[in-house]
Structure 1
Amino acid sequence: MNGKHRVGLGALVLVLLMATVAYPVLLYTDNAFVTKWRTLYIETAMSTMSHQWLATAFIPQSIIDEVMKTREETTELQKTAESTWNLGDVTSAIVESEEIEDEEERFYTLFNELDRESFESYLEDHEEVLEKGWDRIAIDKCDEDSDTGIRTKQGDTVLAISAKQGIMIVKVKGETYEGRLAIVKDASRVELKTCEELFDVGQYIKDIAEDNDAILAINASGFVDADGVGNGGTPYGYLKVAGKELQEPYEHGYKIIGFDEDDLMQIGDSNITDDLWDAVEFGPALMVDGESKLKSASSGWGLQPRTAIGQAADKTVLMLVIDGRSTRSAGATVGDCKEVLEEYGAVQACNLDGGSSSVMYYNGREITHPTTAGDNPHGRKLPNAFTVSWKQ
């Protein structure tokens, strides 16, 4: 027997061993590590429209059904999820900081997430940052994706700070993901903006932002996407913009997410729509009034690129975008998103549209990496975006 035949026989034996030994073990073992990744694999496949076969072709339906029970259980939790804001006095971070006369202390009060020691160390090496004063600090290293050395109290790297705009951009990383968290101090400047030709054809987030004089934007609604080739023009579910209702709720188990005229983020069902100024419909809700609304970390939705929005008790708005479907970042679970937002003080938080729609725009360009079939750096054309207007 020559070498080629021996190699071929060895490969065949290896495949047979995998099929008869390893495959059943991977399916039925209760080992914590294997169970975790088997669950994530099934959830990730089943949460797609066109790739469920990656689970159904190889895994018994009984195992898939058992894994997907957590989604059903989370759906039950969602039914009663409704914000009340019975959390005591709500004091805006902006208002609190404006009452402080000293510029330096005003800055640190506003950006209370900032690790002061690491920032002071950065200032020692970059004296030019303070040339225009504390209220004009402007750092933007999002393109370089380098380690600025500036940290949040939570230990994450700070990529950008704009004192005037009241925005800080943070790099967040987990076991399976990397993304960007935008911390927005002035909730009154958070608005929902739509594409120019709503109900016809969508726009890239970059274009929606620039058309509406926004410094920051993330994707919001899902959209009608027949066969995965939708043009992003028609949002999926409820839509209300600047107090005007543009589309009624679909009420297919999703939640209404929006901001009222007091700049408080509200999560609930169609009964809350009258009180909202801007709103969309999506889900699942991650946190409501400080309590988790997920049954488990992944809750049946697996690893995906994700977008989520939350608000802290001081009205700070938290916008999160996680990259996915790449070697750099596989994606996050909805539980990962909840944990990030909760760590930064969120008391209300909800998942928004994800996948190839997930993108964050800041200061003139995209600062995340959308994953689309054509590898378009702008992502997909979408119906709307949560934006933050430039402060003049």
Structure 2
Amino acid sequence: MRERKKVKIYKTTILFIILDLIAAWCFFMMYGPWDKIRNMYVNTAMKTMHHQYFANIFYNQKTIDKIMASNYFISFEEDADTDAIVIDTKEKSKYKDKYEEELYTRENPDDDYKVIDLKVGNSNGYLVAIYKPEKVRLISTKEFNVGGKGERITTMCERYGGSVCINGGGFQDSGYGSDIPTGVVIQDGEITWGADTVDTARDNIIGLTKDGKLKLMTNATANEALKANINDAMVFGPFLIVNGKPLEIVGDPWGYAPRVAIGQTKSGIILFLVVDGENYINGASLQDMVDILTRYGAYNAANLDGGQSSSLSINGKLYNNPPAAAKRQGGRYVVTGWGLIK
């Protein structure tokens, strides 16, 4: 009996020592000399929709504000010049580097797309090169603002007859999702959301022309987008690359998270980029996204809704590995996306 009691005391002591070590480690990491870790933690937490309290656990509001003020990006003030895009997605006889060769070469010259698997830190990434940009279209949930919660990208993609699809713009979300987009939605040349503010609401518009050119418009209205020959459009950001120039980023403004982006090379190849992440601890930074897209020749590119929403559907199946909560339901319910339509 006495021996059993000694064992119990021993185990309890060990448990408390372990807990003390964990607490000390957390304290050291959060308040130690590593600004990068602190900045990453705060910026990642504060850019989530529902987990900002993680930052408040360790830091007061004054410290949080100071960290966020020292990590930022300078938004573009120019629109993408689609005249610079000359569509020619055929394989080349000579390549400037291994990334260009990887992007253009394919098993069959008639392939519509190719998936390039990436490693982004400890996270997996997926770059889809689409060789027929004119077949890329905006996809959306069946109806907006009817009290629903949108659709999974796999479902949406199948309904549109798509072979490859990613999620797109944001939506109003109080924690349970919704079917209400944030910002204008244009589909097949028609304004399907935001018709009451076509000349007043200004946003960063991510659009595609009918011939498959990615058009990024800064601070534009829906009617201005239509006048610019945009056929499909949604709102999100920031723009990552405009006319070959990368986004100017200071520090680490948005931390690390699952991320999604759309881009296009000067030769017209559309790029879908998705990076996995879990629990807002790992994934990609905005700088990672810029670097990858630049490496593979993007001339224009924009950030799309990430986090739990991150979804890549290929041939009816979820190809990426979204955060656990989204994965359990086969991908998060969203309202818009981009798809390669067969």
Q: TM bucket by the smaller chain?
A: 0.7 to 0.9
- Taking the aligned partners of 1:42 and 1:253, their CA distance within structure 2 comes to 29
Does the 8 A contact of 1:369 with 1:377 survive in 2? no
Match of residue 229 from structure 1: 176
Kept in 2, the 8 Å contact 1:92–1:315? The answer is yes
Aligned to 1:290: 244
Counterpart of 2:340, as a letter, is: V
Tell me by how many angstroms 1:389 deviates.
1.5
Q: CA deviation at 1:8?
A: 5.9
What is the match of residue 84 of structure 1?
81
* Alpha-carbon distance in structure 1 between the residues aligned to 2:232 and 2:96: 27
Structure 2 unaligned spans of 5+? 1-5
Report matched runs for 1:67-216 at 5 Å: 67-70=67-70, 73-74=72-73, 77-78=74-75, 80-85=77-82, 87=84, 90-94=85-89, 97=90, 108-109=91-92, 163-200=109-146, 201=148, 202-216=150-164
Match of 1:134 in 2: none
Partner Cα separation in structure 2 for residue 78 and residue 291 of structure 1: 12
- Residues 205 and 361 of structure 1 are in contact (CA less than 8 Å); yes or no, is this contact kept in structure 2? yes
| Residues 186-234 of structure 1, C-alpha deviations (whole Å, 9 max, x = no match) | 21111102222333332221121111111111101111112x1024x22
The higher relative CO (CA closer than 8 Å, separation ≥ 6) is in 2
Say whether the 8 Å CA contact 1:161–1:169 is kept in structure 2.
Answer: no
Q: Structure 1 counterpart of 2:244, which letter? A: G
Query: Residues 111, 320 of structure 1: CA spacing in aligned structure 2 closer, same or farther, 3 A cutoff?
Result: farther
- 1:295 maps to amino acid: I
* Cα distance in 2, alignment partners of residues 218 and 364 from structure 1: 12
The CA deviation string for residues 103-129 of structure 1, in whole angstroms up to 9 with x for no partner, is: xxxxx33996996xxxxxxxxxxxxxx
Distance change (3 Å), C-alpha of 1:352 and 1:374 = closer
* RMSD, matched Cα: 3.4
Q: Does 1:387 align with 2:339?
A: yes
C-alpha offsets along residues 257-307 of structure 1, whole Å, 9 cap, x if unaligned?
Answer: 111244221112224412211100001111111112242363x21111111
Tell me, yes or no, if structure 1 residue 242 matches structure 2 residue 188: yes
- Measured in 1, the distance between the counterparts of 2:40 and 2:297 equals 27
Deviations 1:23-82 (A, max 9, x none): 3674251xxxx32222111111111122212111112333322221255x42xx226242
- 1:367 partner letter: Y
Give the paired residue count: 327
CA 1:35 to 1:195, structure 2 compared with 1: closer, same or farther past 3 Å?
same
2:308–2:326 contact (8 Å) kept in structure 1: no
**177-186 or 259-268, which moves further after superposition?**
259-268
Deviations 1:300-359 (A, max 9, x none): 2111111100111111110011111169x9311121111111111111111101111111
Aligned equivalents of 1:297 and 1:373: distance in 2? 29
SS at match of 2:250: coil
Is contact 2:120-2:275 (8 Å) kept? Answer: no
In structure 1, C-alpha distance between the alignment counterparts of 2:214 and 2:134, rounded to whole Å: 11
Q: Which residue of 1 aligns with 2:283?
A: 331
Greater mean deviation of Cα atoms: 251-260 or 191-200: 251-260
Where 2:41 maps in the other structure, the secondary structure is helix
CA, structure 1 residues 389+302, in 2 after alignment: closer, same or farther (shift >3 Å)? same
Range with bigger deviation, 305-314 or 11-20: 11-20
Aligned amino acid, residue 341 of structure 1: L
Separation in 2, partners of 1:220, 1:369? 17
State the alpha-carbon separation in 1 of the partners of residues 265 and 325 from structure 2. Answer: 35
Same amino acid, percent of matched pairs = 26
Counterpart of 1:256 in structure 2 is: 205
Distance in 1 (alpha carbons) for counterparts of 2:94 and 2:304: 25
Mapped partners of 1:69, 1:198: distance in 2: 36
CA distance in 1, matches of 2:246, 2:94: 25
Are the structure 2 counterparts of residues 216 and 15 from structure 1 closer, same or farther at C-alpha, using a change threshold of 3 Å? Answer: closer
TM-score, scaled relative to structure 1: 0.72
Contact kept, 8 Å, 1:297 with 1:336, in 2: the verdict is: no
Match of 2:328 among 376, 379, 389: 376
How has the CA–CA distance of structure 1 residues 297 and 332 changed in structure 2, closer, same or farther, with 3 Å as cutoff?
farther
Does the CA contact (< 8 Å) of 1:191 and 1:278 recur in 2? Answer: yes
Q: TM-score, normalised by structure 2?
A: 0.82
Residues 114 and 153, structure 1, Cα contact 8 Å, conserved in 2: yes
Partner SS state of residue 268, structure 2? coil
Rounded to whole Å, the distance in 2 between the matches of 1:22 and 1:355 is 24
Distance across 1 between alignment mates of 2:277 and 2:153 = 18
